[in-house]
Amino acid sequence: MPTKIAPLDFKDSWVISDNDDFLRECTAVGFNTQSLSQIEHLPACSVVFSFCNDAARKTFDIAKHASSKQSVFCATHVFEPSVKSALYGLSLIMKSDFYAALHKQKLILALLDAHTQFDVKGQHADASVVISEDATPYAMIEEDITSNFIYSAAEFFEVHYAHMNAQTNCPFQFSGYLTIFGILTVLRKHTPLPDNELKLELEQLTLDVAQHTALLIVEHNTITSFKVNHIEHITLLERAAGSRGLKLTEFAVGVNDAIAPFIDYSVNSQMNEGISGIHVALGDGSSGYHIDFLCPGAVFNPAPPL
């Protein structure tokens, strides 16, 4: 039988980062910590938080030379590079059941192997998804963590299909509506934006959705409406998404049940997107923002035969 890992906790994992303030906060509550600038090898068990692109690159350079590593990587810098966000993300990692999430991914993969048409129901959601027969989902199973690894935190908690290259066929077709409890905004490349106004508008939209929820309507992979308190925000989404516009670039099934009682949708944290349920996204994160729309609790099941 493969050796199982327990959910990471401060007893056997180190917190690594390039942010000294974050490390001081972690040390104060009992975590073992190390500065990224002062290590040549990753500890055997670690959680790494990067606050800039250089730190992310250094993490993976160091990981190449580690003979023994089990590392979870959190790219804080592309979401919200704040100590508050990193501490929140760390708290959710410690509350997550990695095993249960990996087992659930395996169950979803079995469904995807057997079916191509699915319904999304519950939590005020009603949508249909058709998966291309030749599409391969991004997913992780227990066998992926039986030896040395460094993986993004998101990989443990979702099965997803991505369509980042507009010149290729989309691996999924999505239509319907979802009640959105939270959004995430990601900018991987800081391309020249008109000004700071767009960033501030997206931050306010994140807070508004967290407070009120939102209604997302999608027709044949194109977002046609996104309303919060009956106010339409589709123009803002189109401005933010860059060259891909209002076309969906991701469909995902989240598998992290354990964080549901602790989630705060007002925090722009990567850990939120793993919440059990459904999320879709637009944008590529490079020509503009990548924006995830989270519908926790929505149930993804094979569509009944006609």
pLDDT of 130-170, one tens digit each?
999 999 999 998 888 877 889 999 999 999 999 988 889 99
In this structure, the answer to whether residues 64 and 130 fall within a common structural domain is: no
Among candidates 136, 160, 163, which has minimal Cα distance to 245? 163
| pLDDT value of residue 2 | 38
Give yes or no: residues 161 and 66 share one domain.
no
What per-residue confidence (pLDDT) applies to 231? 98
Do both 76 and 126 map to the same domain? no
How many whole angstroms separate alpha carbon 33 and alpha carbon 148?
20
pLDDT (mean) for 267-280: 97
pLDDT digits (tens, 9 = 90+) for 176-187: 999 999 999 998
Residue 232 has pLDDT above 80, yes or no: yes
Q: What proportion of the chain, given as a percentage, has pLDDT over 90?
A: 79
pTM for the whole thing? 0.93
Q: Which residues of 182-194 are buried (b: 16+ CB within 10 A; e: fewer)?
A: bbbbbbeeeeeee
Please state, rounded to an integer, the average pLDDT across all residues of the chain.
92
Do 74 and 196 lie in one domain? The reply is no
C-alpha to C-alpha distance for 140 and 135, rounded to whole angstroms: 16
Q: Is residue 208 part of a domain?
A: yes
Say whether both 196 and 278 belong to one domain: yes
* In the block, residue with structure tokens 């189109």: 238
- Based on the fold, state whether residues 169 and 281 are members of the same structural domain: yes
Asked whether the predicted pLDDT for residue 4 surpasses 60, the reply is no
The total domain count for the chain is 2
In a domain, 58, yes or no: yes
> Rounded to whole angstroms, how far apart are CA atoms 64 and 266?
35
Amino acid 208: pLDDT: 98
What does the pLDDT average to over 55-77?
90
pLDDT (0 to 100) of residue 210: 98
- Residue 192 sits in the same domain as residue 241: yes
Residue 264 sits in the same domain as residue 129: yes
Average pLDDT over residues 96-119: 95
306 assigned to some structural domain: no
Cβ burial, residue 57 (10 Å; 0-12/13-18/19+): exposed
pLDDT at 147: 77
Q: How far is CA 114 from CA 52, 87, 91, 102, 107, in A?
A: 41, 40, 36, 19, 11
The answer on 132 and 168 residing in a single domain is yes
Tokens found for residue 233 = 């925000």
pLDDT exceeds cutoff 60 at 193: no
In a domain, 5, yes or no: no
The verdict on 45 and 121 lying in the same domain is: no
Domain of residue 71, residue span: 14-95
Same-domain check for residues 272 and 123: yes
Residue 109 domain flag? no
Per-residue pLDDT averaged across 35-52, rounded?
93
Whether residue 124 sits in one domain with residue 259:
yes
Is residue 150 domain-resident? Answer: no
DSSP reduced 3-state for 102:
helix
pLDDT value of residue 65: 80
Residue 283 lies in a domain: yes
**What count of other Cβ atoms lies within 10 Å of the Cβ of residue 99?**
15
Quote the pLDDT of residue 1.
Answer: 34
> Quick check: is 90 in a domain?
yes
Res 195: pLDDT: 57
